[in-house]
Structure 1
Amino acid sequence: MKIRRVVTGHDSEGKARLVDDGAVEPITSEWMPGYAAYRVWGRDERATFPDDGSPRGAEAYYPPRDGSRFMVNLIPPGEPVVSPELDTAAALAEVERKMPGAMAAMELDSPGMHTTDSLDYVVVVSGEVTLEVDDGEQTVLRAGDVVVQNGTRHAWRNNGTEACVIVGVAVGADRDAVLNGSGIGK
């Protein structure tokens, strides 16, 4: 899959300009065979305008409070099958290098499940994917379906026969303490 990113900005007089037009390279890993993540854009602070359109700091894979991330993800069908010869430590280090902080949100004892401190707006572009939340509750999503993911524990599972493409915008949020395991913040 090819992703082309076009970025606008303002010149010194405040006029709109096209400032970038180019390909976004996929992030892949032997730890997640068949998956591809495209980090289209991100910033760690609220946007203010005028803005020259240059990339801002956005090192961590998921956004901090007031930050945002724009991502496109390709999810292959079936469960990922990792090579038995894979050097797990090296593969996890590679993921950390390419997607800083992403593995900290993942539950290694429950593959695919993760929780982020973000409000995510997700649209399924092609294929189908199953969104799983706590206690195994699931819903199947198809092209054109959208999800508003409110900082919940979840996983994306492709039980179909073709790759699925989802597009998401993650907006950093605060997480309050959870009350007595109820899942509802104060």
Structure 2
Amino acid sequence: MEIYLIRHTAPAIESGICYGNSDIDVADTFEEEVAAIRTKLPQGNFDVYSSPLQRCSKLATALFGEAVTTDARLKEMDFGNWEMQPWEAIDRKELDDWANDFVLAKVPGGESYEQLYTRSMELITELMEKDKDAVLVTHGGVIRSILAHATNTALADSFDLKIQYGRISHLHVENEDIKVIFIIRNTMVIYTLC
């Protein structure tokens, strides 16, 4: 079974703003980014799932047409009270408390990284049970958490996994073993979790 994880294209938001669950539109570079992603798309018959947030659903529709299933479990982390606030405007103590244990600590009014991981892996488990090739168009946090699981990387260390906009990651599932294959500077790297 093959699962492809595609991160959305660049969002239409200035840098320095905290956003996750906010429904940000795509940047003006969307069409060029879609064209670049299209050249790297896998061939085959896939079930396509997308975050309902428009930066993902627009990409999923542009790449695969209307046969896309949206699933809220593919949304980016909910930053609660911090959504759409400049990072520098967020209460320093709140930010420090969260940063000291961002895996388990909930953002005020939002969720923890562990909660994002749990919902992401719930969907992956369901897909593995279906045993049908799938494409997931989603966000960096979701992809990072899934790759952390598949590479046996602690969630606290998973931000070392760089997931650029438009990046395609490839999971191969066989006998409940997950292999993660992705391209880094033309070098294929294969991680195996047995």
* TM bucket normalised to smaller: under 0.3
TM-score when scaled to structure 2? Answer: 0.26
**Where is the strand percentage greater, Structure 1 or Structure 2?**
1
Question: Larger radius of gyration, structure 1 or 2?
Answer: 1
TM-score when scaled to structure 1? Answer: 0.27
